[in-house]
Amino acid sequence: MNGRALNRQALNGTAPVARSVGIGDAVAATEMPRLVRLEHNLYAACFTVMKLLPARHILDTAIARGELRPGMTVVETSSGTFGLGLAMVTALRGYPLVLVSDPVLDAPLRARLEDLGARVEIVPEPAPVGGHQRARLDRLDEIRKEYAPAFVPSQYDNPLNPDAYTAVADLVHERIGPVDTLVGCVGSGGSMCGTAHGLRRHRPETRAVAVDTHHSVLFGLPDGPRTLRGLGNSLMPGNVEHDTFDDVHWLGAAEAFGATGRLHRDHALFMGPTSGAAHLVARWEARRHPDRTVLALFADEGHRYQSTSGDPHWLRRHGLHLTVLPTEPHTVTDPARVRGHWDRMVWGRRAAPDVARPPHERAPVR
Ligand X SMILES: Cc1ncc(COP(=O)(O)O)c(C=O)c1O
**Positions in the binding site for ligand X (CB under 6 A):** 51, 80-82, 185-192, 230-231, 272, 274, 299-300
Q: Which is nearer to ligand X, 72 or 171 (CB)?
A: 171
Instruction: Spell 213-242 as b/e; 16+ CB within 10 A means b.
Output: bbbbbbbbbebeebbbbbbbbbbebebbbb
Q: How far is the CB of 197 from ligand X (least distance, A)?
A: 13
Tell me the C-alpha distance between 86 and 115, whole Å: 13
Q: Which is nearer to ligand X, 9 or 307 (CB)?
A: 307
Q: Which is nearer to ligand X, 98 or 228 (CB)?
A: 228
Tell me the C-alpha distance between 15 and 263, whole Å: 36
Tell me the C-alpha distance between 214 and 341, whole Å: 8
Taking the CB of residue 210, how many other CB atoms lie within 10 A of it? 28
Strands (E), 193-246: 207-213
Strands (E), the chain: 34-39, 42-46, 74-77, 97-101, 119-122, 181-185, 207-213, 247-251, 294-298, 330-332, 342-346
Q: Which is nearer to ligand X, 206 or 275 (CB)?
A: 275
Instruction: Spell 161-186 as b/e; 16+ CB within 10 A means b.
Output: bbbbbbbbbeebbeeeeebbbbbbbb
Q: How far is the CB of 237 from ligand X (least distance, A)?
A: 8
Q: Which is nearer to ligand X, 186 or 259 (CB)?
A: 186
Q: How far is the CB of 290 from ligand X (least distance, A)?
A: 27
* Residue 119 exposure: Cα atoms within 13 Å on the Cβ side: 11
Q: Which is nearer to ligand X, 80 or 335 (CB)?
A: 80
Q: How far is the CB of 80 from ligand X (least distance, A)?
A: 4
Q: How far is the CB of 149 from ligand X (least distance, A)?
A: 26
**Residue 347: strand, helix, or coil:** coil
Inter-residue contact 192 to 212 (CB < 8 Å): no
Tell me the C-alpha distance between 169 and 139, whole Å: 35
Q: Which is nearer to ligand X, 231 or 254 (CB)?
A: 231
Q: How far is the CB of 231 from ligand X (least distance, A)?
A: 5
Q: Which is nearer to ligand X, 179 or 228 (CB)?
A: 228
Q: How far is the CB of 163 from ligand X (least distance, A)?
A: 12
Q: Which is nearer to ligand X, 51 or 350 (CB)?
A: 51
Q: Which is nearer to ligand X, 51 or 207 (CB)?
A: 51
Closest CA to 248 of 354, 130, 131, 173: 354
Q: How far is the CB of 207 from ligand X (least distance, A)?
A: 17
Cis ω for the linkage preceding 335 (within 30 of 0): no
Q: Residues near 135 by Cβ (< 8 Å), separated by ≥ 6? A: 102, 123, 125, 126, 127
Q: How far is the CB of 194 from ligand X (least distance, A)?
A: 8
Taking the CB of residue 63, how many other CB atoms lie within 10 A of it? 17
Inter-residue contact 236 to 191 (CB < 8 Å): no
Q: How far is the CB of 10 from ligand X (least distance, A)?
A: 35
